[in-house]
Amino acid sequence: MKGIKILLLIVITPLILQADVIPSGKHIVHNCVKISNLHDYPEITLLGYIVGPSYDNPQFFEIMNKQCLEKGYKFNDLGLYWAQKKYIDSVGIENIVINTQIGPELYGDAYFRQVTNDPNIYFITSMIDPGDFWVDDFNHVKKQFSFYEIAGFIGTEIVLYLHQQTNIYRDDTQNVQIFELPEIPNLQILPSTMRDTSSSEGQNNN
C-alpha cells in the first residue's frame, strides 16, 4: 500500500500565522505537539528535519519522547522521518547524507521526500505543524496540546494518529478529548524490514 498513513483528527483547525502582526479580533494559541509513545518502540529512532527562511544549513535531529516538536520560525516547515535505531547509532545522525540539489520550487512532502537518498531513512509526513496559530477572539482557547502515537507499521510506512488533544482556555479550564484508533488492515507492530530480520535471527538461534 502506497502513501503514508497519517490519521489527523484535528479538533481546532489552526490558522497559520501569515504575518508578524496579529490581525484584529484574533489571538495566538500556544501549540504543543508531542509523540507520546516512542518508549514503546525502542528499536526505532524518530527524526526531524526543518527547512525555511531561518535555516541555511538544515540537518536531521532526533525527536524525543513527549517533548514538544519545534520548527523555529513560523514560516519554517518540519518533516518527520524514522530509521532503525541500530542504524542511526552506527552511522550517526550528523553523518546522514543530505541532498543539496533540491529545487526551490518543491515544498511540502515533495521536498522532504528528496532530502536524503539514504534508503535506511524513511519519510513519514510534513503535515503535522507544531507552530502556534491564530483563532478568533470569541474562541477562548489559549493553549493546545496534541499527543500523537505510533500505532504500528504497514510495510515500512509508519502509522501516526492523534490520540489525545487538550485545550486550555483563558479561565484555565481544560477540555480533553481522546480519540480511538480505527481498525486499520495489515497494521503490524514492526516494519516489514525488521520483521524479516527478527525471523532470520530467530531461525539462526534455533
For residue 163, how many other CB atoms are within 10 A of its CB? Answer: 22
pTM above 0.85, yes or no: no
C-alpha Rg value of the chain to the nearest Å:
19
Domain spans of the chain, in order of start:
6-205
Helix, strand or coil, per DSSP, at residue 93: helix
Each residue's pLDDT tens digit, 142-198: 999 999 999 999 999 999 999 999 999 999 999 999 999 989 999 999 998 886 554
Count the neighbouring beta carbons within 10 Å of the beta carbon of residue 96: 20
pLDDT-above-70 percentage for the chain = 82
Of 74, 85, 73, residue with least CA distance to 47 = 85
Share of the chain above pLDDT 90, in %: 67
Neighbours of 61 (CB within 10 A): 13
Cα–Cα distance list, 95 to 57, 92, 100 (Å)? 14, 5, 14
Alpha-carbon span 76 to 167, nearest angstrom: 24
Q: Which amino acid belongs to residue 125? A: T
Which are the contacts of 183, defined by CB distance < 8 A and separation ≥ 6?
none
